[in-house]
Structure 1
Amino acid sequence: MKFKNKLYTILGAGILLTASACESFLDVNENPNNPEDAPISGLMTNSTYETALNVQRIGSATSNYVQYLASPNPATSSDTMDPVNFSGTWFSLYNVMTDVNEIIRKAEESGANHYLGAGQILMALNLGMTVDIFGDVPFSESFNFETVTPAYDSDEQLYQQVLSLLDQGIANLQGETAISIGADDFIFGGDIDKWIRFGNSLKARFLLHTKETSGYNANEVLAAVSAGFQSNEDDAAVTFFEQRFNPWAQVAINNSNLLLGGWISEQFVQALDGTSYPTVDPRLPLMIGTTDEGEFIGTVNGAGRGDAPEQGARSTLIPGQFYTSTTSPLLIATYAELKFIEAEAALASDPARAYAAYLAGIEAHMDMLGVSEEDKAAYLADESVSVGAESLTMDEIMKEKWVAMFLHPETWNDARRFDYGYKDMTLPENLNPELNGNYIRRLAYPDSEVSRNGNNVPNVTLLDRIWWDQ
């Protein structure tokens, strides 16, 4: 990135705002009538950076549910879909939204419409991610410092808020501004055209979530797609640097030092090695490591390492690959994802458009990973992939999107919409008995929220569905 050097100089001023100039309702020991102030530029730096980390934080949990990852230890809570305390993730989401709320307030006061638009898009994304994993959450009373026990808002109503924020953000980015965004933006470096395309791409994502509801309109999704990302160059991502590792790189490094994490699910390996599908996917060696014997062998979700307990006997994330280099980008939203959104939205009405988008999504992900032209052409020509427009089904689209969204939390939204219908995907061993033989549908509200705001926390189980999961 051209602005990378500038990021180093503002890192301390921006990222160290994680403690945040204007703490959320969660920080009940702070005086809400005397908040510290912070410049809008520093808030933007922190918010763009921490938004990417929020994507990874959620993905580190949901990657077990969609069987990208598996625990090397049997019956581990995250692997067997037990209730897990995600208080840290909850705090991180609300801390970003608190900072973004300040960006929006300051931008409105100063006429900084581009900051306002970017802030509204960041708010929509973080709020949408929060709703997607928890359902009803506090929002309308969360940032006014008038209560430490805010009421919960309906997940369906909050989705309308998400879509409204995206529309407002896109409109504000298209107008004049008193202050321009620059290197304080860790995602696009102040490129407003890319912010506009990002807003439209997110709009397509969140609209697609509502596919099983009465308000869904495929044409609205496709209109947002057309105004969204145009190539991999538009991808929304935060690129890391030597002083601050990509967190997936840290997982891989830790694993190589016997701090176990990042073990690959058998389901993922077998989907790409020719077991579940007829062709071997050339992306496999670019995404995960082999065993000490040079083989790709996954770990059974819920069962642990089984009869191969030694380090090196199962595939893991390894340092230095696309997702796990210390300077690898954290992907927030990508062109590849958008093409699969287009394929799904167009499938019923325009099979030719859907098929072209499906192939483009595969190609975009392969280009991202650096697959050779020869290997890419061979894979795309394989009859199990090159099925033709009239034969394309949701199964092919969802399988390829599942591969292209490796480690990303959006896949859990897809899995729930798809009723976990991926080929050969099975429930983990030692499944949480409270799920009654079903897949998990939401996260439990965190212990910190139950203890602080228990009278308002909804009474739900892990089987209760988010409003769009019908």
Structure 2
Amino acid sequence: MKKLQILIALLLLASGSCTDEILNKIDTNPNQVNDAPLKTMLPQVQMSYVTEVAGGSTALNAYYLSEANTFVLGNNVLKDLQGLGSQVWNQSYSAMNDLAIIKKKALESNSFTYAGIADVLRAFNMAALTDLFGDVPFKEALRDDIGNPVFDPSQEIYTEIHKTLDEAILNLEKDSGPVAPKTDDMFFAGDRAMWIKTAYGLKARLYNRLSNIDAAGSANNALGAIAKSFNSDSENLIFSKFADTQTNGNPFAVANNSQPGSSVGNGVYNAMASFGESQKADDDPRAAIWFTKVKGQIISAPNGTARADFGEPRLDGAYYSKPELMKYFNSPMPVLTFVELKFIEAEAQLRLGDKTKANTAYELAVDLALRHAGDYRPAVKLSDEKISAYKSLPKVLPGSSMLALSDIIKQKYIYFYQFQPIEAYNDVRRTGIIPVTDPTGRASRLPYPVSEITRNTSTPADIDNISALEPRTKVFWAIK
């Protein structure tokens, strides 16, 4: 083919009719888009975050790391931590490269809404990277002139994330400009106000993450951001455009239906059981619609020592209960919600000593969490009677005088079971309230992918499968 193209060029030169324009086109594919418009690039990076960062294999592994689920394909995921984070690492950096292009193109045409959305999405990707891995390349990342980018401290990256969100808010407050997102924005159809609220919601989440660094400061900052974020249960960042198919469905459902390696873990089972009277998860009405039963019982798989359970019935489990909610391809996936912000508000108010406000936020969060328990499949939505019966259990709503941090974190952890495993894993490491049951230990972070180690000489050499289980390697905001 190449020889033919050269021959054509020579013939054209000989005839004197070959221009530079013709020569430039000879070795190009006329069907390939080399300069995609903003409306084409935006949905791609949104889907990338949803399906391969917040969803995808690393997020699925976060279920196991938080002990919400147990891996039951015959081995312990903690034995090979090195490979668990590759998808988030690769996809986040790829997305941030695309987002930089989107922002540059947007600012060149004064299309400020696109620029603002790009920065909000960039902040989500940056947060996922540094929360899972700690120090990562940032300032020198994605530069063509630097082959071995240095790893920036996670604390500094947090500062940069807030700066990115601040810039996003400034651009989103401007007029959209000549080109504005509409249906290509798969979350809010270009609604600038909702993206601003999302930016503040992410700020609240990240401020609250620093509870062990600055208890009062993190609480006040989180509350200040919450006041500017979602103000009702109708305002959320939720992806709800999955198809009811294996190819374009909810990534957790796609993985589960392909290879159902997840069984219900000790973490979520014990958290549910702790609020009941029978000391079984069955006291929580969510258990009946979230988990399958084995011989009429909900049986959790012991983390780290579970037997293999991938025979028939594959999706229900022969030995352990499996996630019923991971069966349905068109299940919406929450990314950042009003309910999460209410749990953060409850925690922040409790740290500041205002138990009345903490309890008000907590009770609303619990009520709404129960009402959203059937979001993955509306047919199993909990009735008002079941919700009221659960809330009447003495340990569920203990009142302002008795409310404890453990109540807030455990209810939030249960809420996160519906497709927010990375946030559950973050809270597990931040608070230490969900106990470790895996005899191998708990992963304090993810080791850097082999691909980064082999091609970047700046990669820290002291983080591996063994050291990642040690408290000394924890990310900076985690509990000691």
Shift of 1:341: 0.6
Any conservation in 2 of the 1:77–1:83 contact (CA below 8 Å)? no
Provide the TM-score with structure 1 as the length reference: 0.83
State the distance in 1 between where 2:147 and 2:309 align.
50
**SS of equivalent to 1:55:** coil
State the distance in 2 between where 1:100 and 1:324 align.
32
The answer to whether the aligner puts 1:317 opposite 2:323 as a matched pair is: yes
Any conservation in 2 of the 1:238–1:331 contact (CA below 8 Å)? yes
Any conservation in 2 of the 1:85–1:445 contact (CA below 8 Å)? no
Say if 1:190 and 1:404 are closer, same or farther in 2 by CA, change over 3 A: same
Any conservation in 1 of the 2:230–2:236 contact (CA below 8 Å)? yes
Residues 212-248 of structure 1: CA deviation (Å, up to 9, x unaligned): 1148332111011111122332221222013511112
Who is 1:467 aligned against?
476
State the distance in 1 between where 2:415 and 2:429 align.
17
Any conservation in 1 of the 2:343–2:361 contact (CA below 8 Å)? yes
State the distance in 1 between where 2:84 and 2:63 align.
16
Give aligned-pair identity as a percent. Answer: 26
State the distance in 2 between where 1:346 and 1:458 align.
40
State the distance in 1 between where 2:35 and 2:107 align.
16
Say if 1:38 and 1:72 are closer, same or farther in 2 by CA, change over 3 A: same
**SS of equivalent to 2:230:** coil
Residues 5-42 of structure 1: CA deviation (Å, up to 9, x unaligned): xxxxxxxxxxxxxxxxxxxxxxxxxxxxxx94221112
Structure 1, unmatched stretches of 5+, are 1-34, 432-437
1:412 partner letter: Y
Who is 2:458 aligned against?
455
Residues 59-116 of structure 1: CA deviation (Å, up to 9, x unaligned): 21111011111022454224x6744353233111111111111111112211111111
2:144 partner letter: F
**SS of equivalent to 2:165:** helix
The answer to whether the aligner puts 1:252 opposite 2:256 as a matched pair is: yes
State the distance in 2 between where 1:361 and 1:324 align.
26
Who is 1:386 aligned against?
397
The answer to whether the aligner puts 1:128 opposite 2:132 as a matched pair is: no
1:269-288 superposed matches below 5 A: 269-273=269-273, 274=276, 276=279, 280-288=283-291
Say if 1:85 and 1:418 are closer, same or farther in 2 by CA, change over 3 A: closer
Shift of 1:468: 1.8
1:404-423 superposed matches below 5 A: 404-406=415-417, 407-408=419-420, 409-419=422-432, 421-422=433-434
**SS of equivalent to 2:140:** coil
Say if 1:379 and 1:459 are closer, same or farther in 2 by CA, change over 3 A: same
**SS of equivalent to 2:176:** coil
State the distance in 2 between where 1:348 and 1:295 align.
39
1:380 partner letter: K
Any conservation in 2 of the 1:246–1:324 contact (CA below 8 Å)? no
Shift of 1:165: 1.1
The answer to whether the aligner puts 1:155 opposite 2:161 as a matched pair is: no
Any conservation in 2 of the 1:271–1:277 contact (CA below 8 Å)? no
Any conservation in 2 of the 1:70–1:262 contact (CA below 8 Å)? yes
- Say which of 346, 349, 370 aligns to 2:349: 346
Any conservation in 1 of the 2:284–2:390 contact (CA below 8 Å)? yes
Who is 1:71 aligned against?
71
Any conservation in 1 of the 2:119–2:168 contact (CA below 8 Å)? yes
1:227-242 superposed matches below 5 A: 227-239=228-240, 240-242=242-244
Say if 1:84 and 1:308 are closer, same or farther in 2 by CA, change over 3 A: closer
Shift of 1:309: 7.6
Provide the TM-score with structure 2 as the length reference: 0.81
Any conservation in 2 of the 1:74–1:302 contact (CA below 8 Å)? no
Who is 1:397 aligned against?
408
Shift of 1:120: 0.9
Say if 1:375 and 1:231 are closer, same or farther in 2 by CA, change over 3 A: same
- Say which of 428, 431, 437 aligns to 1:427: 437
Larger radius of gyration: 2
**SS of equivalent to 2:285:** coil
Residues 245-279 of structure 1: CA deviation (Å, up to 9, x unaligned): 1112223323xxxx331211133234335454798
- Say which of 278, 302, 305 aligns to 1:303: 305
The answer to whether the aligner puts 1:115 opposite 2:124 as a matched pair is: no
2:67 partner letter: Q
State the distance in 1 between where 2:364 and 2:80 align.
34
Shift of 1:164: 1.1
State the distance in 2 between where 1:167 and 1:366 align.
33
